[in-house]
Homo-oligomer: A and B are copies of this chain.
Amino acid sequence: MEKIDVAVLGATGTVGQKFILLLRNHPYFEVREVVASQRSAGRPYTEACGWKQDIPIPTNVAGLRVKSIEEQLQSRILFSGLDSSVAGTVESKYAAAGHLVISNSSNHRMDPQVPLVIPEINPEHFQLIYSQQYKGAIVTNPNCSTIFLAMAITPLHRAFGVEAVNVTTLQAISGAGYPGVPSMDILGNVVPYIGGEEDKIETEPLKILGALSGDVIEPVSMKISAQCNRVPVYDGHTETLSVKLRSNPSLTEIRRVLEGFSGLPQELGLPSAPQKPILVLDEPDRPQPARDSWLQNGMATVIGRLRKCPVLGIKMVILGHNTVRGAAGAAILNAETMVRQGYMKNGEHLPKGQRRTPIPVPAESR
């Protein structure tokens, strides 16, 4: 397969750097353009980026000149790690110009025509792009904490019905980007507030688990309550969950359902797909962010401490790598899924003529 040229929007930021890191040597995509604010535009990426990753800048990117978000771009797919202060209009502009924008930003997530996709869960929602007014399209992935929550409750919902979820998050500092959280606020401290985060966690899963009916997603009926905390951890969001199910399965059944969960990315064997999207640990004191975030190359949702909850029925601890499965890796997995499902056929335009036709997995790519 010939590689598809891609650009990274917000390429100097925390998520943008992670895009560049995860896309090095990618079998489908080649980073050809790095795009940032006017302030960085025109400078070599190496100088402009303030690289914070623990392996050097990939050589094919190091030499690129940073383009401005004002400029026209050549790449077919744009991975967006733009700050939400600009992502709304910039992503719309590039989608209107014909690009497929694979966004990690929150701005368009709840737009009725924009797919909000975790490909293990709702890849059929990608079809929403055919109802977008853009020449191109915008596709989004959820908020980092939402992803792990949705991964954990989807198999439970399908098997037993989920009525309500109570979740408390303990989120890593890397989730706030760079410079992000001042050290004076978080060293030896907990900040029990992350602006906008609780609302995202309480609403995004309803769309993800919703049913696609024509051009419209009917949100699922489920109550979610979130309390979000920042903790002095570098990478890895921990979440404590209490879940109310419609039926009353045993812990053994629940565990079997969680461990058995699999989806389209696993079926297609996508490059970034975790072999097992959900891992269940038995040790009483796991998962832990500093020890378990990199399981399955940072693409796993790790679950531990599954047990009965006197109030809601069952409870557990979940963990995921917030900047991999929770951000850049989520967007890349979305793009891989779309490519392999034929949304990018010929690598030129979105095949809008195939609208609503069920999209088979191409035989040659299995």
Interface of A toward B, CB cutoff 8 Å: 14, 52, 54, 164-166, 168, 170, 173-174, 178-193, 202, 223-225, 227, 229, 231-234, 238, 240, 242, 244, 284-292, 294, 304-305, 309-312, 315, 317
Contacts and interface: CB of A to CB of B under 8 A. Distances in A.
Contacts of A234: 184, 187-188, 290
B289 A190 contact: yes
B186 A187 contact: yes
A168 B165 contact: no
User: How would you classify the secondary structure of chain A's contact residues: helix, strand, loop or mixed?
Assistant: mixed
A287 B54 CA distance: 12
Copies in the complex: 4
Contacts of A202: 310
Nearest to A240: B227
A312 B231 contact: no
A18 to B, nearest CB: 13
8 contacts: A165-B311, A181-B184, A183-B187, A187-B234, A188-B233, A190-B231, A225-B315, A232-B232
A170 to B, nearest CB: 5
A279 to B, nearest CB: 12
Contact of A312 (B225, B286, B305): B225
Nearest to A287: B192
A183 B232 contact: yes
A112 to B, nearest CB: 22
A311 B164 contact: yes
Contacts of A168: 168, 227, 240
Given A232-B232, A288-B189, A317 B227 contact: yes
A178 B182 contact: yes
A238 B190 contact: yes
A14 B184 CA distance: 10
Given A225-B315, A310-B224, A233 B183 contact: no
Contact of A311 (B174, B225, B284, B310): B225
Given A180-B182, A187-B290, A192-B240, 15 more contacts: A52-B291, A168-B168, A173-B187, A178-B182, A179-B182, A179-B184, A181-B184, A183-B185, A187-B188, A188-B232, A189-B289, A193-B285, A202-B310, A232-B232, A232-B233
| Most-contacted residue by chain B among A165, A170, A187, A311 (CB, 10 A) | A311
Contacts of A14: 184
B188 A178 contact: no
A227 B308 CA distance: 11
Contact of A179 (B179, B189, B294): B179
Nearest to A186: B183
A298 to B, nearest CB: 12
Contacts of A285: 191-193
Given A190-B233, A233-B188, A233-B190, A311 B223 contact: yes
B183 A311 contact: no
Contacts of A188: 187-188, 232-234, 290
A246 B17 CA distance: 46
B289 A54 contact: no
A166 B227 CA distance: 12
Nearest to A56: B295
Contacts of A180: 182-184
A309 B225 CA distance: 6
Contacts of A191: 285, 288
Nearest to A283: B193
